[in-house]
Every structure is written in C-alpha cells, then in structure tokens.
Amino acid sequence: MNARVRISSRSAMPRWVRRSALGLGLVVSGLVALITLGAIVPAVPVLGYYATTWVGPRPLWYVVFGLVIAVGAVVAWKRGKRRTAVWTTATSAVTAIGAATVLITQLLYAHAQNVPLSADDVLAVDQPTAPPDHVINFDRVEGRTLRAGLWTPRAEDSQGDKPIVVWIHGGGFATGSRYQRAGDYRWLANHGYPVLSIDYRLTPPPRWKDASDDVVCAMSRLARLARPYGVDTSRTVLVGGSAGGSLALNVGYGLETGHIASSCTARLPAPPVAVAGFYPAADLKGTWQDNGLLGYGREITEGYTGGTPAQYPERYAYASAVNRVRPGLMPSLLVTGASDHLIRESRVRGLADRLRQAHDDVRFNAIPYSDHAFDDTYHSIAGAVGRNLLLRFLNGTASRA
C-alpha cells in the first residue's frame, strides 16, 4: 500500500530563505511607497525627480503595486505577524492612495482638456517604432552632414492647407536625435501634418549661435528638401522640446524680428506661422540660476554658451527666447510638466506671462505630476495630453494662419 506523504511548502523551504524573501519584500514595499510619496511631494530633493519620472508616466502600475502589497498585509494579519502586517498595511496605503491620486488627477486633467485616452495611454506601454519616410541631407558644415527625417501623410491623410511641422529635438544641446519623438511625428503625419525633424550642431564646443543658425538653414532649404515628396512648404510651424523647444522659440521669434542668422545662406526664410515649445529652456540665465537636477542646469547652459551669465551675458541674451518677446509675434504654445525639476514650471509660465503682456497669442499648459520630458513615454496620459494639445493648436491656429 502506498502511503501519501504531505509536505507543506512552509516546511520544505529553509527558514533563512523565508526570512530573506520576507525581508526583501518589506524593503521593496518601503521603496515603492517612498517613490510614490516623492511623486506626491516633488519638492523633495533627488527623490522628487526620480519619483515623478517613474510614477508620473505610469501611475496605474503603482496602484497595482499598492494592491499587491495590500494582499501581503492581509496574509500577515491572518498569520498574526503584527509588525509585518503594520508595515505592509502602511506601505500599501501610501502606494495605492498616492498613485491613485496621481492617476485620477491626470485623468481629470485630460478630461478637462477634452483629450481622448486609449487603454495603451493609461497602461503606459512601450513607445511605437515609426521610421521616417525619407532621410534628406540639407547641409554640410565642419565636416559633418546635417540630415533631416521626413514623415509624410498618407494619401487618405492628405496635407491640404496644413503647414509643415519642423521639429527640433532636445537633449541639453549636447545629445539627442532627429528620431527622438518618432511616434509623435508619425501621429501628426497621420493627422495630415508633414513633419521634418532636423539635425543641428551639438556641444562641445559652445553652440549658442551655431545651433540656431542650423535650424534657420534647414528652414531656408525646405522647398528643396520636402517639395520633391509632394509636401507644401509655404508655411511652417517650429516645434521642439527642452533644448529643441528653446531653439524653436528663439528661431521663430528671431525670424519675426530679423535678428537671427543662417549657417548656409544670407537670405532669411519667412517666419513660421506658429511656434510650440515643450518644457523649453527659453530663459538660459534663469536655468543657470535654478541649477536643476543636481547641477545639470548649469552644466548644459555653460556647455552651450561657453561660460556663466556673468562671463557671457550677450550669449545668454541671444540664445534666450524670453529676451525676444515683443508685440506682433506669431501664436505660441507652451506645454510643461507641473513638477519639472530641470526647467521649472515657473520659468515657462513666466514666458507665457511676458507674451500676454505684449498682447501676443499664447496658450500655456502645465500637466500635473509630470516632470521634464514627460512625453518620453509615448503611451502615457501626459504624453497623450501633450500631443493632443499640439494637434489642437495646429488645427485651431496654424492651419488658419
């Protein structure tokens, strides 16, 4: 006769393994709760930045984490493990309630802005791949070929009277790629807006003038670059994020006043019909003073200009769109994260206020619980809000200009 032997998993697992697993679980639950708390209170140094960067794009994940920890708390209470139960109950409450606060606030903001959200936007899945339809050389300078990627509307999404969007990538003036927001470029093209995303010279050495000159060069050669592919280049909109947002605004306002130059031609192109800056470094002196992200603010501004505001005040002034504000500028869209740790929300709001004082047309939005480059995660609530705000701006302003 065969005897049935019952061996519990509890007795089969060595005691030290169980204790190690429990300890690791308690540490992880504490870290998750701490990160969530940092997203709710973004002013906390260091923690606030990483917390808003991690929780802001994917709050639903952290709600789920909180619920999983809560299940562990229930088990601990049933087994009489009081200390473990108290700890996991506290950490689960902080995580679930904190993340739910971020999630609900962002959902309400999207609803208030009439932004449609997909399940992918709430679940925060990976960014889609969207290679350009064409890659074009537009200049050769200092032994390097500058290129542009062109995303064109499909036949059923024809351009019509829509302007071409010239997109300038970010990266602290030192890094970045013309493919940086490829998902957004394809999305805009699918809505009828051709997108040309361009290279420009990066630091080092200092590029406080060279970078904007390269943008103007690309604009001056738009007809040669894009018309062979059936794109109407008679009207443009400059768009960029971070360093690219700084260049979009600076070049746009500079072309309106004529106080800008091109790296490849003496004749300046027509000003864009509108500009859009996402979390733009539009006040370089202010960015240097704020010195966000543990010194990164000064690192990028000094690398771009060659020194401090005291050493090169004219360079900081030339490269800062905030100094080019005057009446009669084209419409501007400014979008930033309310918890931006690099380009403070107050700096972007200050530019919007200055534009309003000059009686210029400006739209300003600060997306809650979102940090710098919040749209790095294409499928996120903030990412969806950002691109829909841009599309609405293009439809309502640029297409009628």
291-312 pLDDT tens trace: 998 899 999 999 999 999 999 9
- Give pLDDT tens digits for 32-83: 999 999 999 998 888 999 999 999 999 999 999 999 999 999 999 999 999 9
Considering the domain architecture, whether residues 104 and 131 belong to the same structural domain is answered as no
> Is residue 3 assigned to a domain?
no
Radius of gyration of the chain (CA): 25
Considering the domain architecture, whether residues 216 and 272 belong to the same structural domain is answered as yes
Q: How confident is the model at residue 124 (pLDDT cuts 50, 70, 90)?
A: confident
**How far apart (Å, rounded) are the C-alpha atoms in residues 302 and 316?**
10
Over pLDDT 90: what percentage of the chain?
A: 84
> Is residue 154 assigned to a domain?
yes
> Is residue 182 assigned to a domain?
yes
- Give pLDDT tens digits for 355-390: 999 999 999 999 999 999 999 999 999 999 999 999
Question: CB under 8 Å to 385, separation ≥6 — which residues?
Answer: 106, 109, 110, 113, 115, 365, 367
Considering the domain architecture, whether residues 245 and 329 belong to the same structural domain is answered as yes
pLDDT score, position 316: 98
Q: C-alpha 54: how far from its chain's center?
A: 13
Q: Mean pLDDT, the chain, as a whole number?
A: 93
pLDDT of residue 7 exceeding 80: no
pLDDT score, position 401: 55
**How far apart (Å, rounded) are the C-alpha atoms in residues 263 and 261?**
7
Considering the domain architecture, whether residues 149 and 104 belong to the same structural domain is answered as no
pLDDT score, position 161: 83
pLDDT of residue 9 exceeding 70: no
Q: For residue 272, what is the domain's CATH number?
A: 3.40.50.1820
Considering the domain architecture, whether residues 143 and 45 belong to the same structural domain is answered as no
Provide the domain limits for residue 222. Answer: 127-400
pLDDT of residue 243 exceeding 80: yes
Considering the domain architecture, whether residues 61 and 106 belong to the same structural domain is answered as yes
DSSP state of 154: -
> Is residue 290 assigned to a domain?
yes
395 neighbors 163 (Cβ within 8 angstroms): no
Considering the domain architecture, whether residues 395 and 290 belong to the same structural domain is answered as yes
Considering the domain architecture, whether residues 182 and 243 belong to the same structural domain is answered as yes
pLDDT score, position 112: 98
pLDDT score, position 5: 47
Query: Of the candidates 306, 259, 312, 249, which has an alpha carbon nearest to the alpha carbon of residue 280?
Result: 249
Q: Which residue has the tokens 């087994």?
A: 79
Q: In total, how many domains does the chain have?
A: 2
**How far apart (Å, rounded) are the C-alpha atoms in residues 62 and 110?**
19
pLDDT score, position 20: 79
Q: In 358-399, where does DSSP find H-type helix?
A: 381-396
Considering the domain architecture, whether residues 236 and 169 belong to the same structural domain is answered as yes
> Is residue 287 assigned to a domain?
yes
pLDDT score, position 254: 97
> Is residue 392 assigned to a domain?
yes
Considering the domain architecture, whether residues 96 and 167 belong to the same structural domain is answered as no
Structural domain ending residue among the three candidates 81, 112, 143:
112
Hey, what are 44's tokens? 């906390």
pLDDT score, position 397: 80
> Is residue 149 assigned to a domain?
yes
pLDDT of residue 248 exceeding 70: yes
- Give pLDDT tens digits for 87-123: 999 999 999 999 999 999 999 999 999 999 999 999 9
Over pLDDT 70: what percentage of the chain?
A: 96
pLDDT score, position 398: 63
Considering the domain architecture, whether residues 184 and 212 belong to the same structural domain is answered as yes
pLDDT score, position 225: 85
Q: How confident is the model at residue 149 (pLDDT cuts 50, 70, 90)?
A: very high
Q: Which residue has the higher pLDDT, 3 or 193?
A: 193
Structural domain ending residue among the three candidates 112, 145, 177:
112
Considering the domain architecture, whether residues 88 and 137 belong to the same structural domain is answered as no
Structural domain ending residue among the three candidates 66, 82, 112:
112
Mean pLDDT of 157-168: 88
Using DSSP bridges, classify how beta strands 332-337 and 274-278 pair: parallel, antiparallel or unpaired. Answer: parallel
Q: Which residue has the higher pLDDT, 157 or 8?
A: 157
> Is residue 120 assigned to a domain?
no
